[in-house]
Each structure stands twice: as structure tokens, then as C-alpha cells.
Structure 1
């Protein structure tokens, strides 16, 4: 299997360091070959690997994984005892007593003391809550998995975009070479036509037509250079590198194409391994866990609780005594909400419907993935066949151009025939490059759609 193939792995800190190291090595190699520290040569595998660790969208998706994991830890800590420490102090004013309405009043100190203080600690530990805690933990664990799948999906999506832009850059670079060759042919042809015109063997119209053809080729070359610059900017953004960096593809459109048989396993497992289907399946489990959490409200709640405190003055005796005392207790608390039998009825019904809805969505996503992967598999077989046909067409178009060119120089063919032959030769070469890059684009799409990119 060629070097374009690599294993899908979870992006981690060590993976990021390795990716940065790879890019730095590539940078050194690029500087050694180009003499310009902003020009780098990358293979398609290197570009994909680097984008999967450095792209901003991938990094944000990985941040969400970390946030979801912290939420999971928070839910787990919720089953730990609830412990409170409290303290208070009061200074009471004088006590005023009224008799006969508010006409007679006497004032005295509050007994046994105008001061009051308390310091205590209490704890509550949930022993049984109907399975609510377990359901919440399972739900949050599933949400972490869902966040990881989203990160893998985002990483695969960016990898596919990177491969597409890389192959587009390959196609444009090859087209630039073809246009440069065509420009040389157009200039050489114009010189020959001028010589023929000076010898009065062709008319002025042939000279003008050759000049127009040369101008069109020059314009096409300029347009292609602009397209290369735009494609390079797209690739810079995907790789999260400065806009001044120029990427030169180290791979060509003629790189080895995967065998058709190697894609059969991907097409067969796509309905299970696809990121979309995996996320949909996890969503079903999330809704199931939420339903169990809702049902837990219909079950009793049993808790263990305890408290210990220091109080002043002593109100346990009568009359109250001006002294401090400490006391504590332990106990069990059971609670059952009878109202939950009718309050949760619609919530449970809605939860069941959402579970069925999520299951139906998973089946729908699986159908879409199966159709998408199989369609691209057929297109990949077609693309390989198209490459063979175009390779033969290039050979025929090149021979045809040479024949027509010799005929024109011997005044046995018109200039129109020669220009048509030149355009046919140019078009056949471009069609071959396009067929080769399209085949690789389809291959990477199948890998992404099947969850293997």
C-alpha cells in the first residue's frame, strides 16, 4: 500500500508535537531545495496529518472533548457526600413586654443571655435515588464519546478538505506545465508562420490568428497562476500556517492509485464505522440514558445524614441555661414523591418517543452513508477506467498534432486544423490529470464517509 495510506489516530498532545516536528523537518528540507524559507514541499499524507493536528476547527473540537470530560467528572463527584459547615452569632436587644395592649410596657434583658451563637457541621449522602445518579453518569459518559466522535468527524472532514485542495493544487501545477509547453509551441508556431508569410506561402490572416492564439495561451497561463495562488491560500488556512507559506506538492497526479478490491471492506463496513452513523448510534444511547433518569423520579429516595454542632446558650432545658453545649446525630431519610406518578407521565412518554426518533435517524443516516459510499465506489471504478482511456487519448492526440503540424508546414492543412489539433492535445493531457486527481478525491471521500480518514 502506498505512502498516502496512514492509520487514523486520536489527536493528542504528543501527536501535535510529532506533527509540528514533521513540519519543521519538511521546512528544513524545503529550504534546502528552494532557498526560500517560506516554500515547503509536502506529500499528501504529510499535509493531511499536519492539518488533523493543527487546524483551528480540529483544535476547537478537541477542546469540546476536554470540556465534556470535565462535565463527566462533575457528575461523578455529585455522588460524594454533601458537607456543610455553618456558624452564626446574634446579639439581642433588650426585651420589651407589653400589657393592656400597648399602654403599659416593661423592659429587661433577654434570658438567660442576650448573646447567641452556633457552630456546626452536617453531611448528607444519597444511598439510593432510583438509579438517577447512575443514569446521569452514563449519559455524561456517552456525551464525552459523542464529543470525541465529533472531533474525529471534524478531523476527517478537514483531512478530506486538505486532500481535495492538495489534489487541486497538483492539477493546477500540472496544468501550468502544459500551458507553458503550449506557450512554447504557440511562439514557435508564430515564428514559423511569420517565415512562411515572408515567403508569401501563407496569408496575413494566418499570422493574425496565430497571434490571437498566443495571446489566449498567455492569458490562460496568467489565470492558472492566480488559481494556484488562491488554492495555496486555502491550503494554508487548512494547515493553519501563515499566508506567506507556499506549499509545493511533492506527490504527482500519477501516484499509485489504490486497487478497487481494497475499497470493498470500506464500503461494506461504512454503515457501522461512519462518523455520522456512530454519532447517531451514540445519540440513541444518550436518549435511553435520559429516559432512565426521568423514570428514576418515580422511585423512592433514601439518604444518610448526620450533623454535629456547638450551640450557646442551652435551649434544650427549661428554663434556658446560660451555658454552651454540643450535640450530634446520625439518621436515615426516606422520601417518595407520590406526585411523580402523574407529573412524570408525559415526560416518560416524550422520552420514549425521542428514543424511537433517534433510532430512526440512525437508520436513515446508515441508508445515506450506504448510498453515498456505494455511489462513490462505482465512480471510482469509472475514474480508473477513464484514466486508461485518457492515457491512450494523450498518445493519439500527440501523434495527431505532429501529423497536422507537418502537413501545415507543407501547406497540406489549414491553420484551423493545426490549432484544433493543438487544443485537442492540450485538452487530452488536462483530462488525464483531472481523471487521476478525481480518482484520488473519490478515494479520500470514501475513506471519510466510511470513518477511516
Structure 2
């Protein structure tokens, strides 16, 4: 593992050699998640959505407070005109030219048919939904970054394979040239290996470019400096991965899966909307109070140039009679939305159950693949030892030795990839249960 880490560092050094400002940074999964929580633009957007929902709840609760209105005006009054009923005999009426009006009115709703309570309940559920959406997006970003991270690990692994194969090919070419000078090999053999060398160089370049792309995606999502070169922490593969029974994963998903929780909240939101629509068919009762100060007094002729103050308190009742025949369809629609939300929840349960089962099967398959690769490494080591002994006793050719070395190297690196796949499928299990 230490050799792999050293080679990864060397590969990253080669990848960033084009920029003098490039900075290498070894990063583990947990640090990856921490930086995503702090810097991911997607997570920040959903976090702002939570703040919006918090304010919406405060707005809904404010509907319980009284409505208080105050108005103050000053005006200029022109002289009046007085006619008979047939608009004859006009007479000018002197008017005081300064007019004033002050009003203070207050209204406290004491019963609204449950509209205010339902509105607050909807806002509370909206806040829960915003929080669940933030958590779900957080899980998605974490799983996305985990995929990028492990793919970057695999790409470095591929670079190691290609680099070693290039070195082996160079040795074969050098050996072939020496044998050609001795007349025991043909130029055509050298050409064949030179073609292989160029193909390996092209493949290495393609993988290095893929590394740059994957690194850029990680750096961009984490909002790190553009010149940062991320190096996967090779100790990740040393961690012990313990699996659970499928039944335990299913129970975990039933408790933690955010899609199911959102579906449940959606049911409660639609139930609250039913109550809100039903409240439209009930009367609204409020306590009212007012204070007025007006002048001049224009209900008298001649007009009285005085201020007139009056106040009142009382109870107001308002009933929308048209709601009896207008609100029926809306109420039926709201009830149908409740049924639809319940059906959506049952569908989500089926989808989550299927997703957990499929992920669990793939998780077990990755362990099978790991055991197979471990056996391949054992066989490749045995083959290498046998070929090496035969080569030392001049019973095998150099090409046989190089083939055995290449097979051993590929087996070792396939084992690393298999371990990476186990880690990936473990994190996928945590993702489908939303416990990542």
C-alpha cells in the first residue's frame, strides 16, 4: 500500500507539473464531506431554502396578532353650493377651509374556522419539508463526491498499471535490440513492441486527462483553489467494512430514508390544506375597536367648524355565503390530493425497498469479486515465483518473465480496484438508506 501511495503522489506530481502554483492535498472521505457541507453551492442553496421556510413560519404565526390601522389626513375644503331640487336658485355656502381626519382602528380575530391554525400548520410542515430537502441534497452531494473520489483513486491505479507496463515494454525493446544485434531477433519484433509502447503512452495520456477532469469536478464542487491537486487517502482501503443483513438495511431505510419522510410530510400538508379549505365555509369572528377624530362637521348646514370625536368597540361577524356553492370543488380537490399523497408514499416505499435490495445484492457481489481477486493475486504470485525460478535457471525467456511480472502487477491492482468497489458499494448502501 505504501508503494501505491508513493506512485499516486508521483502521478499527481506529473499531472500538475504544467502549473507552478499547483498544490497537492491528501484528502480523506470525512474531510471531503466536511468541505462539501461548508462550500457546496448546492447545499448552500438548500440551506437558504430552510431560512426562507423559517421566515414563512414566522409570517404565518404573525396572523394571530391583531390588525391595527392608523390614518391621518389634512385637506383644503372649497365653498359649497346649494340648489333647489330642480337645480334652481343656487346659494353659496361658506365652508371652513381646513379639514382634518384621524382614525385608529384595531381588529383581533378570535375565530376563523381554523384558517389561521391550518396556515401555521402548513408553514411548520413547509419548514420540515425544506429541512428534509436540505438533508436529501446533502446526501446526494456526498454520494456524488464519493463517486468522484473513488473514480479518481481508480484512475491513479490505472496510471500505475500503464506506467509499469511501459517500463516492462521498454525493457523488452532494449532486450530485443540487443538480440537483434546478435542476430537472434527480427526488426519486426522490435516494431511490434514499439507500437505497443506508443499505445500505452496514449492510454496513459487519456487516463491522466480523465484525472484532471475528475480533479476539476471535485475542486469546483468543494470551492477549493483551482490549482489544488487532490490525492486520495490510501488508508481508506485499510478500514474494516462490516455489512448487515438485508433486513437490517431495510429497517434502516424505513426509518431514515428521506424520500419516505418527505412523502409522509406531503400527506400531512395536504391534510392541512383540506382543513384550510373547510375553514372557508365557516364564519369569521373578530373583536373590533376604533377611535375617530374628524372636522369640520359636514352633516349640518351650515357646516360646523368643529372637531367631532367618537369611538366604538364591538364584535364583528363575517360569513361568505358564496363559499357554500363555490368551495365544494376545492374541498374535493384537496381530499383527492390527500389520497394521491398517500398513494405516492406507498409507491416510494416500494421503490426504496427495491433500491435497498438491488444495492445489497451488488454489495455482496463486490465481496465475491474481492475474494476472487485475492485468489488471482495468490495465483499470480505463484506463477511469478515459478517463472522467476525457471528464468534464473535459463529455462524461460525474458518475455515469459515480463509477462509473469505484468500479470502479477495487474492482479495486484485489480485487487485494489476490487477493494475500492467494496468501499463504493458500502457507501451506496448508506446512500440508499440516507445514512451517509
Which moved further from structure 2: 322-331 or 402-411?
A: 402-411
Q: Deviations for 1:273-322, whole angstroms, at most 9, x for unmatched residues?
A: 11111111111111111111111111121100100122223467787543
Q: Does 1:60 pair with 2:50? A: no
Q: Which residue of 2 aligns with 1:451?
A: 434
Once the 2 structures are TM-superposed, how far is the Cα of residue 413 of structure 1 from its aligned partner? 6.6
Q: Does 1:93 pair with 2:78? A: yes
Q: Which residue of 2 aligns with 1:256?
A: 239
Contact kept? 1:271, 1:367, Cα under 8 Å: no
Contact kept? 1:171, 1:253, Cα under 8 Å: no
Once the 2 structures are TM-superposed, how far is the Cα of residue 426 of structure 1 from its aligned partner? 5.0
SS at match of 2:277: helix
Provide the C-alpha distance between the structure 2 equivalents of 1:43 and 1:74, rounded to a whole number of angstroms: 43
Provide the C-alpha distance between the structure 1 equivalents of 2:81 and 2:274, rounded to a whole number of angstroms: 59
SS at match of 1:254: helix
Q: Does 1:240 pair with 2:223? A: yes
SS at match of 2:224: coil
Provide the C-alpha distance between the structure 1 equivalents of 2:407 and 2:22, rounded to a whole number of angstroms: 39
SS at match of 2:205: helix
Q: Which residue of 2 aligns with 1:6?
A: none
SS at match of 2:280: helix
Which moved further from structure 2: 55-64 or 316-325?
A: 316-325
Provide the aligned length of Structure 1 versus Structure 2.
416
Q: Does 1:47 pair with 2:24? A: no
Q: Deviations for 1:30-67, whole angstroms, at most 9, x for unmatched residues?
A: xxxxx977221111111122112210000010001001
- For residues 302 and 319 of structure 1, do their structure 2 counterparts lie closer, same or farther at Cα, with a shift above 3 Å needed? farther
After TM superposition, the score normalised by the length of structure 1 is 0.84
Q: Does 1:300 pair with 2:300? A: no
Unpaired stretches in structure 1, ≥5 consecutive residues: 1-34
Provide the C-alpha distance between the structure 1 equivalents of 2:70 and 2:428, rounded to a whole number of angstroms: 59
Which moved further from structure 2: 317-326 or 370-379?
A: 317-326
Q: Which residue of 1 aligns with 2:154?
A: 171
Provide the C-alpha distance between the structure 1 equivalents of 2:387 and 2:190, rounded to a whole number of angstroms: 17
SS at match of 1:298: coil
Q: Which residue of 2 aligns with 1:283?
A: 266
Q: Which of 40, 52, 62 in structure 2 is aligned with 1:77?
A: 62
Unpaired stretches in structure 2, ≥5 consecutive residues: 1-19
Contact kept? 1:383, 1:439, Cα under 8 Å: yes
Q: Does 1:391 pair with 2:362? A: no
Q: Deviations for 1:118-139, whole angstroms, at most 9, x for unmatched residues?
A: 1120001100000110000010
Once the 2 structures are TM-superposed, how far is the Cα of residue 255 of structure 1 from its aligned partner? 2.7
Q: Which residue of 2 aligns with 1:3?
A: none
Provide the C-alpha distance between the structure 2 equivalents of 1:213 and 1:407, rounded to a whole number of angstroms: 26
Q: Does 1:337 pair with 2:320? A: yes
Q: Deviations for 1:188-207, whole angstroms, at most 9, x for unmatched residues?
A: 22222222222223333322
Contact kept? 2:161, 2:410, Cα under 8 Å: no
Provide the C-alpha distance between the structure 2 equivalents of 1:283 and 1:359, rounded to a whole number of angstroms: 9
Q: Which of 365, 382, 385 in structure 2 is aligned with 1:382?
A: 365
Provide the C-alpha distance between the structure 2 equivalents of 1:385 and 1:295, rounded to a whole number of angstroms: 59
SS at match of 1:171: helix
Q: Which residue of 2 aligns with 1:15?
A: none
Q: Does 1:272 pair with 2:255? A: yes
Provide the C-alpha distance between the structure 1 equivalents of 2:198 and 2:88, rounded to a whole number of angstroms: 115
SS at match of 1:120: strand
Moved over 6 A (4+): 316-319, 405-409, 417-420
SS at match of 1:299: coil
SS at match of 1:201: coil
Q: Which residue of 1 aligns with 2:12?
A: none
